[in-house]
Amino acid sequence: MNSLTHLDGEGRAHMVDVSAKEVTARVASAEGVLRCRQETLIMVRAGTAPKGAVIHTAELAGIMAAKRTSDLIPLCHPLPLTKASVTIAIDDALPGFRISAEVKTDGVTGVEMEALTAVSIACLTLFDMLKAIDRTMVIGDIAVSAKSGGKSGDWHRTQANP
């Protein structure tokens, strides 16, 4: 088993020293879903949800969250992001919303946490804006879908991944 990188020799938490790592282009994408009632989707699609443009607001919240990840996750490095995007699509088959994010940087550490944070906060924002009309909503399936760059190279989630 690997040693825990966020603990020093005495068991105290510390931010990992990444100063010796090579700067590379880093990209990560993540996705998740928010399941809800079909009636909720009808209201959102029609623009009649009580809190207005919920999809656009949640997309913006996700982008803002990606930029603030190091403020939210202890020991996470602050990174100069070169791109952060969040896309929310209505999926009648769920029924609900499919949320995806892509984050990029040129740096010494990856942006997986930023992508996951973007998706998580976009989901939470949707939940907050729709809870008055739908208490049945469930957030789930949040995961990194792909990453590239760095020493470990490229990785893509497939059906075979656990």
Give me the residue label for tokens 């020799």.
9
Q: Give the span between the Cα atoms of 132 and 136, in whole angstroms.
A: 11
| Burial of 156 (C-beta count, 10 Å sphere; 0-12/13-18/19+) | exposed
Q: Which of 17, 91, 92, 128 is catalytic?
A: 128
Burial 122-131 (b: 16+ CB within 10 A, else e): bbbbbbebbe
**Helices within 74-157 (DSSP H only):** 112-130
Closest listed residue to residue 113, CA positions, set 78, 151, 61: 78
Is 128 part of the annotated catalytic residue set?
yes
Q: Give the span between the Cα atoms of 85 and 107, in whole angstroms.
A: 18
Q: Give the span between the Cα atoms of 53 and 113, in whole angstroms.
A: 27
Active site residues: 128
